[in-house]
Structures are given as C-alpha cells and as structure tokens.
Chains A and B, each alone.
Chain A
Amino acid sequence: MHAARVRSSLRILGIVSVLLLGLLAAAPAQAQAPTLTPDQEARANALAKQLICPVCPGETLDQSQATIAKQMKAIIRERLAAGQSDRQIVDYFVSVYGESVLAQPPRSGFGLAAWLVPPVVVVAGLVTALVVLRNLRRGRAAATPPPAAESPEALRPYLDMVDDELARDGDEPRDGAPPVRK
C-alpha cells in the first residue's frame, strides 16, 4: 500500500532533513524564490518530471511531497534564473546524486538496453505473429469448406439472423451433432 512506503520514506526524510538543516535555513520560501519567465516556468516543470526524488524511489520531483524534492525544485529554479541550460542542471544533479536521479536511463552504455528492448520485443512479436498466421493459413486447404461467397450480407454481421446463418454454414458442429439454434 502507498501508506507504508510513504511512512518509511518520511522516516528517511526525517534523517535527511536533519542533515540538510543548513540548506533548509537557506531556502525558507522555496517556491517563491526567483521570478521566472513563462518559458523558464515550463522548463522548470519539465525538469521536475525528468528527475527522481532521491529518498522516495520511483517518484519524480513533481510527484513527491518530500522536503528534499521541494528543495531540488527550488535549486532548479535558481539555476534556471541564473541562465543555466537544462543539460547543465541535469548534470549538476547527476554529479550530486548519481545516475539514479534520472527518471529514465541514459541512451548510452547499459542504459541503452532499456531503450532497445521494447522495440525488439515488438518486432519479434510481430514476426512471430506473422509466421504463426501464415502457418495457420497454410493448413487452410486441409479441412475447410471454401469461405462463403462474399456478399454485402456476409460482411454485415449485425443481425442475429445473419449470425445464425453464418453459424449454420460456417460453424458446422465438430461432433456431428446438429447445430443448436437459439
């Protein structure tokens, strides 16, 4: 449940916030700090979605209610106001907290694997599905009656009547019993 983990992360927070008391005093009104241009505001929000709160694994800064997340957001704003680029700000947090502060793995080194696996899975799945479908089709000549002649009716299975007709000439019962009509 959310609760237990929030509780435990709050406990960690307690420790962290003691360690960061100095920082806390330095940033009394975090969100107020520098006034940003609308463009910078948008970048601040975007950056908050790309960085993870170090004491609450899995939560990005914009999701987290933890004090440290608020402080990190304040730092983002200060650095944006100071004219730093997004890249510089992200690099700064990586240098402080390590790579795990990034909400998505880098597109290089081992992190690249995280980005390659999904498309490979989809392509492999597609290929498998195609092969299976082709095999299923090949068996076609073996046992089926030819498909019913194409008529507009056959393409409009909106009526029970039509469905029943389909059931009668298409779904011949496997065990030779007469089809049961509703």
Chain B
Amino acid sequence: MAYLGTGALLIATVLAVYGTVGGVLAVRRRDGALAVSAQRAAYMTVPAMGLAVLALVIAFIDHDFSIRYVAEHSNRAMPRIYTWVAFYAGNEGSLLFVAFALAAFAGISMAMVTRRIGSQRTYANAVLMALLTFFLIVLLTLANPFEQLAVAAVDGQGINPLLKHPGMFIHPPLIMTGLISVSVPFALAMGALLSGRIDDDWVDAGRVWGLVAWAMLGTGLLLGAWWAYTILGWGGYWAWDPVENAALMPWLGLTAFIHSIMVQKRRGMFRMWNIALINISFALGNFGVFINRGGPVPSVHSFGASTLGWVFLAFLGVTLVLSFGAFFWRMGLLKSARPLESMLSREASFLVNNLLLLAIAFITMFGVVFPLIAQLFVGRELSIARPYYDAVNGPLLLALLALMGIGPLLPWRTASWAAVRKVVVVPGAAAGAVLAVLLIAGMRGVPALVGFGVSAFVAASVLQEWARGTVARSRQARVALPIAFTQLMAANRPRYGGYVVHLAIVLLAFGIVGSSFFDLEKDVVLRTGERAALGDYEVEFVRVDTTNFADRTERVATVNVYRDGQFLTSMGAWQGFYPSFQMISTRSAIRSTPKEDLYVLFSEVQSDGQSAVFRILVNPLVWWMWLSGPVLILGTVIALWPARERAMAYVPSPARRPGDPQPGGAA
C-alpha cells in the first residue's frame, strides 16, 4: 500500500507539473493542442490523487501498522467508521485530503468553465496545477502519509477521543475544502490577469466558486462552533481562538467578494477591486493554513511543533507577491466600465460592506499576531483573548448587521432620500416596536438592545422585500400569492437566495446576542440528592455510573431537572477517561429549547466519592444559532441554482458579453 500510495503521488506530481508548464507554454506559443493536453493532464491528477487516497484508506482498514501514519492514528479496536476521521486526524493525512480536494475542485471547475474563455482558462488551470504541485512536493518530501516504520507496530495508538463526535465527520473536511476551494476563484482571477483578457468573463465562474467556498467555510465554522459547544465543556461556542480566527478571516474576505462581484456582474464596476479582494481572501486562507500547521501562535488547534508552518509561511509570501505582482502589472486594464452615480446607491453600500468586512478581518489578524509583535519588538508578554475581540469587533459586526438591513433596500445606481425614507418605514417601525417591548420588559444593556433592534430591522426589511415583490408579481401576473412568491424566488435567485442567507445571519445574530448578554453560569459541588438553583431551574444530582471499556472509563452523572418546583426531565452528563491519551473527554447534558438551553457539565467526582463538581449554565436563544445553519445552506443553494434557460451563466452565448440575465440582488 505504501508503494502504491507514494507511486500515485509521484504520478500526480508529474501530471501537475506538466499541467502547469504545458499550460503556460501553450498560451505563449498559441498551441491549442498543447493547451488541450495540459488540461487533460490536469484532469488525470484526479484519479491519481484518488488512488493515493484509496491506498491510505485501505491501509487503515487493513490495520497496516507498518505505515507510521496508520499506526499513529488508528488501532484495532477502532470502529471502521472512524477511518474517515482518522484519515485527516494528523498533518500528513489532512494534507493529502487537501491536495485531493484541490485536484477535484480544479477538475470540476475547469470542466464547467467553457472553452469560450480560452487562454484565461488555460492560465487558470496552470495556476491550479502549480498550487497542486506545491502540495504534492510537500507531501512527498516533508509529510508523506505513506512513510514506513522500520519495524511494523503490533497495534496502533488509536484515534484521539476528542475527535469522536459527529461534528468531526464534517467540520474538518468542510473547513479544509473550504479553505482550498478559494483557489478556484483565485485561479480564475489570475487567469484573467495573466491572459490580459480582463473582460468580465471570469466573473460568473468566479462568483459561483466564490459562493461554493464561502458556503463550505461558513457551514464548517458553524459545525465547529456546535462541536465546541457540546464537547469542550465551557458552555460557549466561539472563543476567538487563533485557528478559529484563521478560518473566519478568509470567510470574511469571501463574504466581501461575493457581494462586490455582484456589482461587477450587474454594473461592470469594481473590476480592480474584485481581483484584489479574491487575492486577499486567498492570502487569508493561506494564512489560516499557516496558523493551523504549527505556526508560531499557540492555539487549541495546533498540531504541536512542526516545521510545516514555515513552509506554508513561505508559500503565503510567494503567492502574495506573485498575485499582487500580476495585479499591478495589469492594473491599467482594470478600469471600471462606468462611474459611480451616487453615494446613496447599492453600489456604494456594497463598498461600505466590503470595508467593514475587511476591517474585521484585518483587526482579527492583528489580534492573532499582536502578542508575537509585542514579544519580538518590546519583549513583553501580552495576551489577546476573547474580551479583546468582543470589544473591538463587536461594534463593527453590529454596524455590518445594520448595513445588511439598509443596503438591499437601496436601488442600483442612485436613490433619493425621499425614496429611501419610504422603504425604511416598515423595518424602522419593526425595530422600534421590538425596542419598546424590550424596554418595557425591563431590559437595559445598550449593546443587547441595539443588537436585537438591528436584528428586527434586518428581518423586517427582508420580509418587506419579499412581501412587496410577491404582491407586485401577483397583481401583474394575476396569480395567487403563493405562486407569485415561488415565481419571484425563481426569477432572481442570486437576490432572493441572498435574502434567505441574510435571514440566516439574523438568526445567528439573535442567538449570539441572547447567549452573550443574558447567560447565567454557576460552578457547584453537589452531594447526591442535593440541588443547585440557577435561573428558573433546579438541578439535582442523582448518581454517577461508572463503566469500564477497553480504551476508556466512562462516567455518567445523572441529574434531575426541576423548573419552579416541577420535575422536568432527567439528563445524563457524560465524561470518558482515555488512559492511552491521558485525556478526559466530556459531553455536556443539554436541554435545548428555542427560549434557552440548560447546559450541565459534569467535571469531576470529589475525593470523598459522594459529591461531584458541576458547571451549570443557562444560555438563552442558542437554539436559533443552530437553526441558521440549514437556512444558510438553503439560501446558498437558491442563489447558486442554475437558471433554467442557461445551464450556467457562463455557457457560450451569441453575444460576447450577454446582457445581464440575472439583474440585481445581494448575493
């Protein structure tokens, strides 16, 4: 298996190098046959990488402990299903996963981009193959998953128990594929730059793949938050940990990109800016990989000390210099097709949106590296953790949320103040009503009030857009309201899909504001039969059951929950001790309702054997955060759904630059 895997990687390397060099030469020499051949070589990297992946999977299933990676990340006792997780549990395997995903995305995207964009596509493909070559060389030299042990191990070390969570089946691969798939829109932009054909041909494909990467990263982040909430046992979901930040930053960059690309698609403006944005997003993604692979910043996610971090830092530097080099080289060609007409227009609001998103991304990055700067230049040990990010990013996130309510109400090109006043009446009234109710209910705290008020404004503005559109359509086409609504959604998918995503963000904001400002928490020690009160709840410690397994000792603390003296439910808070890892893994007992979560973490049994330590939290509105995940995916699918008449917006068309088939819309 080891030879098969390494062999497959070697073949893929040869193909990728050929795809890169052949592609560049093909455009230089105007050699169509060579271009086709380079493209085919790129397609062939997919089965080659697939073979390498298969070899590692088989090695895991066969318990081939002569391979170091298999011995370090699995054992005989491990259920087969965890092969999927073990595969990317370490550096080598996750790099192989990333490289395979890159090859697959390159193949799929290039197959979908038609010949029409000729030399742009050939260059884009060459860029993707160059990136793949880099990963393959790292795999073959520094992190070969097929490296063999001098003496085969009898049994492996097993899988890290923290990874035994359903979220772990999806979260890491989504983050990894999300980070790497930024390469596709990046390569398309580079293709446009390198070929010197800076018309808007790359825009449709760039938007689609930007959205794909954005949705994967976004879902991955949410799943990671859910995993942290259920398993890390501190009752929170987002810690502003350096690696969380590293995945958040490219997501912010992409969020800016998928908005601003709509301006180019619709109005032919922001051409330079969009290319700069995708370069930035790509660089932020690489920064994320750098932090993730043992960079200099301590984090929960670090794989421990590893020289790989520096390889990725070099990669980040080189790609940054090259991409912006190409950008400045072609800058003269990137003029906007038309000027901005008014500061009060959707174009301008998109620019402010971009500014806020990039500011948040930059400040987050600054927070990650600041302790390092302080240490290197002033020799002071300073830390930056959650309270700092909450303080500096919180207001910007609120501003962004507010803009999400106002921006979509502005028309393209220009608006009058009178017209704007007219459309903000309903959302403004909704926000006012919510504020009034909250104030009467006795809520004070300014940030929370603003947060809820702005959320209400955005939700109302989206609903108003839907309502007006539906009513107008139903009158005009004389159809019933539900039909009019579906037709409306179908007629302008990027816009209405975007609104669905905006609703998802409102749900998320609702949950974050609720759980950040109104959570209750308490650490308690309870004897059996004793109760602790928190909020409306009382938690009674019933008993602890201990069970021994081959690889772990499980303890389940049973608690009875009462509300206002009434018995509500019985829950089990779980913890497992894994001797081979010297590690305790916990699974909190959570009673989740739309109003609030009751969260009980069982942390330890006291030495007397009679009492146990618990951490109890009441987290309001967290339920809504998890709901936002499916809504976000639904919205993205709607936005991406290809139009009926034209399979993808960039299918060949008689007009070189077709008129705008899908007008408008906040993506």
Contacts and interface: CB of A to CB of B under 8 A. Distances in A.
Interface of A: 1-8, 10-11, 14, 28-32, 41, 45, 49-50, 52, 56-60, 62-65, 70, 73, 98-106, 109-111, 113-115, 117-118, 121-122, 125-126, 128-129, 132-133, 136-140, 142-144, 147-148, 150, 152, 154-161, 163-164, 166-168, 170-171, 173-175, 177-182
B436 interface: no
Given A103-B385, A129-B352, A174-B268, A11 B582 contact: yes
Nearest to A159: B472
Contact of A118 (B392, B472, B488): B392
A55 to B, nearest CB: 11
Interface string B343-365: 10000100110010011001100
B380 A155 contact: no
A58 B387 contact: no
A65 B391 CA distance: 24
Contact of A114 (B269, B370, B423, B521): B370
Contacts of B163: 1, 3
Contact of B386 (A28, A49, A126): A49
Given A58-B385, A126-B355, A182-B645, A105 B362 contact: no
A32 B525 contact: yes
Contacts of A57: 298-299, 383
Contacts of B337: 174
B320 interface: no
A70 B603 CA distance: 10
A132 B392 contact: no
A58 B241 contact: yes
A10 B582 contact: yes
B50 interface: no
A114 B388 contact: yes
Nearest to B520: A45
Interface stretch (B105-113, B131-139, B656-664): B656-664
B339 A137 contact: yes
Interface residues of B, number: 105
Contact of A171 (B351, B423, B659): B659
A173 B338 contact: no
A36 to B, nearest CB: 11
B236 interface: yes
A28 B613 CA distance: 11
B410 to A, nearest CB: 9
B383 A2 contact: no
A101 to B, nearest CB: 7
Contacts of A168: 659
A156 B416 CA distance: 12
Nearest to A29: B525
29 contacts: A4-B160, A4-B301, A5-B300, A5-B302, A32-B525, A57-B383, A58-B242, A58-B298, A63-B386, A99-B381, A114-B388, A115-B392, A121-B362, A121-B366, A133-B343, A136-B336, A136-B340, A137-B343, A140-B339, A140-B340, A156-B468, A158-B472, A166-B412, A171-B267, A171-B268, A171-B659, A171-B663, A177-B657, A182-B643
B432 interface: no
Nearest to A111: B382
Interface stretch (B147-155, B226-234, B619-627): B226-234
B396 interface: yes
Nearest to A160: B491
Given A60-B386, A114-B382, A167-B660, A7 B341 contact: no
Nearest to B464: A158
Contact of B339 (A70, A73, A115, A138): A138
Given A65-B234, A103-B388, A170-B413, A180 B659 contact: yes
Given A32-B525, A174-B337, A157 B581 contact: no
Contacts of B416: 150, 155
A182 B241 CA distance: 47
A163 B366 CA distance: 42
B384 A114 contact: yes
A113 B656 CA distance: 52
A101 B469 CA distance: 55
B646 to A, nearest CB: 9
Contacts of B162: 1-3, 6
A45 B586 CA distance: 21
Given A65-B603, A163-B663, A2 B232 contact: yes
B351 A132 contact: yes
A106 B383 CA distance: 10
Contacts of A174: 268, 337, 657
Given A7-B160, A50-B387, A59 B304 contact: no
A63 B411 contact: no
A45 to B, nearest CB: 6
Given A104-B388, A118-B366, A178 B338 contact: no
Contact of A157 (B388, B412, B521, B653): B412
B300 A59 contact: yes
